[in-house]
Chain A
Amino acid sequence: MPRALRLDLDALSFNGAIGFVGAVAVFFLVAPTIIVVLTSFTSSAALRFPPDGYSLRWYLALVDADQMQRAALTSLVVASLATAGSVVLGATAALGLASVRGRWMRAIDALFMSPLLLPALAFGFAGLIFFNLVGYGLSLPTLIIGHVVVCVPFVVRTTLAALTQLDPALIEASRSLGAGWFYTVRRVTLPIIARGVGAGAFLAFMASFDNVPVSLFLSDARTEVLPIHLWEIIETNLDVRTAAASGVLIVFTVVVMVVAERFAGLSKQLR
């Protein structure tokens, strides 16, 4: 049966090629994380993989790393407040956008999404010039404002996606039963889109916590954030403490991700 044989060869080569490329991709996606976690447990002062021996000394060294802790605290404060601002502004705007149709909707939507596509570094610099011109010195509020601009698109996007899943009949039913607009939003719309808003909040938080291009221009020595602090350490002297800090950040990410998956069904919202 030459025909069946040819088909088998075809299927075999296709599955083999796709499987191989996919496996390579998965390996490259996962390997760095595993390598950095294992390296952080090294007992020597050199960054080598596999480590010569294992110990917790670099994690213990983090306890005394005052500057790093202060930067981490600043990052947490900035990310929390930027997320809060993004959720309030973004979810509200998405509710408004859902009521607009056609060209206007697309134009405003494109405007709100544009911080994701424009080089964030150019925006960060523009922000620095702007605050300088207005005469408002760099401070925590200016940093948070800059972060809200680059984080709010995540909330707008996930909330809009959740709103398109919303059955309009539910809103009409609520209204025809005499509920006011605010009551309908509070008791019908919000509970249904809560997971979308939650996923957006999670993405906004992670984006702010990890942001460098905007912080680079809008933060100063007093408001130094964690990624910039780590970047400086890696650039000047490769300190093994950064490996330990990376280990802590990876665990932090996984924990937040599991929580987000549990409460917001993250993997469904991301698509």
Chain B
Amino acid sequence: MVGRRFLQLFALAEWQLILPLGLFFLAFFLAPLVVLVVLSFQTEISLGRFTGVHYGKFLGDAFSLGILWDTMVLGVEVTMVCALFGIPLAWISARASPRFQPVLLFLVVLPILTSVVVRTFAWIVILGRQGVMNKTLIWLGLVDEPLRLLFSEFGVVMVLAQVQMPLMVLPVLTTMQRLDPNLIDASAALGAGQWRTFLRVVLPLSLPGIVAGAILVFAACVTAFVTQTLIGGARLVYMPLYIYQQAIGANNWPFAAAISVVFLVCVLFAIYLLSLVGRASRGYVHA
């Protein structure tokens, strides 16, 4: 029985390995978040009476609510664009020959590992009044004079979609590669064409990956400070810039804390809704 007790001792020792990171998170992740929430209920930086005045100010202000709404809409739009282009790209990658697949993967992964500032900077060169995009559109005769692409919502959505696309492609590709190829053959043998097979077999079975990708893309682009500020400019304000302005510019920490808490809650709720879809779709896959 000595051996068994020894093993039990080991099992105990093994879970204790979580403790260093657990304590680190308690001190430097959870504690700061608690402090953030507490501060959002104060009038001054020092601890005093609790008040909900900042939340009242945020929720009663059409300007603030507009920024929150715009940020959430931005997240949804970018996620949809990423899905539209990312799912076909993932399907091509999944079906590519073993020689071609690493090349495609490299092309997909390279952008996400390149600095976000660099990628956004590249788009400034592309979207400017004299940029590649406007030159091409005029050359094609689609427009007569340069469009305002930089500092527009369209520009922000497009650039964020490019920047975050790999976050959609990689999880979708993973689920597609795990698909049983027999299912596709069976669908074809039963007379379904390629469209029908893709829409009725491949797509529903890839839903867990699509939801995972959607969560990553949404979470990344609502907080994408660099791209939002550089492409959106000063006119288009989203939540991250709003928090930064109030915290550093106006030095109004309690109000900035309240905005941060509202932002956190809204993002978490959106992710929660998406994960509900994901859970439902996993049940569908196993059924």
Interface residues on A, range: 35 or more
Q: What separation, in Å, do the CA atoms of A238 and B19 have in the docked complex?
A: 47
Please name all residues of chain A whose beta carbon is closer than 8 Å to the beta carbon of B157 when the two chains form the complex: none
Q: Is B43 an interface residue (CB 8 A)?
A: no
8 A Cβ contacts from B218-251 to A: 219, 222-223, 225-226, 229-230, 239-240, 243-244, 247-248
Please name all residues of chain B whose beta carbon is closer than 8 Å to the beta carbon of A17 when the two chains form the complex: 88
Please name all residues of chain A whose beta carbon is closer than 8 Å to the beta carbon of B35 when the two chains form the complex: 126, 129-130, 133
Residue among B17, B110, B132, B195 with most chain A CB within 10 A: B17
Select one of A7, A19, A96, A127 contacting B32, CB under 8 A: A127
Does the CB pair A33–B14 fall under 8 Å? no
Does the CB pair A93–B84 fall under 8 Å? no
Contact status of A89 and B29, CB under 8 A, knowing A122-B260, A234-B121, A257-B110? no
Q: For chains A and B in complex, what number of residue pairs have CB atoms within 8 angstroms?
A: 266
Q: Closest chain A residue to B24 by CB distance? A: A89
Does the CB pair B162–A19 fall under 8 Å? no
Q: Is A67 an interface residue (CB 8 A)?
A: no
Q: Is A56 an interface residue (CB 8 A)?
A: no
Q: What separation, in Å, do the CA atoms of A240 and B149 have in the docked complex?
A: 21
Does the CB pair B17–A234 fall under 8 Å? no
Residue among A125, A156, A210 with most chain B CB within 10 A: A125
Please name all residues of chain A whose beta carbon is closer than 8 Å to the beta carbon of B215 when the two chains form the complex: 117
Q: What separation, in Å, do the CA atoms of A242 and B114 have in the docked complex?
A: 14
Contact status of A49 and B126, CB under 8 A, knowing A22-B88, A216-B244, A234-B230? yes
Stretch from B57-65, B98-106, B138-146, B279-287 forming part of the interface with A: B98-106
B139 CB, nearest partner CB in chain A, Å: 13
B242 CB, nearest partner CB in chain A, Å: 10
Q: What separation, in Å, do the CA atoms of A231 and B226 have in the docked complex?
A: 7
Please name all residues of chain B whose beta carbon is closer than 8 Å to the beta carbon of A231 when the two chains form the complex: 117, 226, 229-230
Q: Is B2 an interface residue (CB 8 A)?
A: no
Does the CB pair A249–B114 fall under 8 Å? yes
Contact with B along A91-109 (1 / 0, CB 8 A): 0110111111000000010
Stretch from A24-32, A57-65, A190-198 forming part of the interface with B: A24-32
Contact with A along B104-143 (1 / 0, CB 8 A): 1111111101111111111111101011100000000000
Contact with B along A103-139 (1 / 0, CB 8 A): 0000010011001111111110111111011000000
Contact with A along B59-90 (1 / 0, CB 8 A): 00000000000000000000000001110110
Contact status of A122 and B36, CB under 8 A, knowing A25-B85, A116-B219? yes
Instruction: Enumerate chain A interface residues (CB-CB to B < 8 A).
Output: 6-7, 10-11, 13-15, 17-19, 21-22, 24-26, 28-33, 35-36, 39, 47-49, 88-90, 92-93, 95-100, 108, 111-112, 115-123, 125-130, 132-133, 145-146, 148-149, 152, 156, 175, 181, 206, 209-210, 212-213, 216-217, 227, 230-231, 234-235, 238, 242-243, 246, 249-250, 253-254, 256-257, 266-267, 270-271
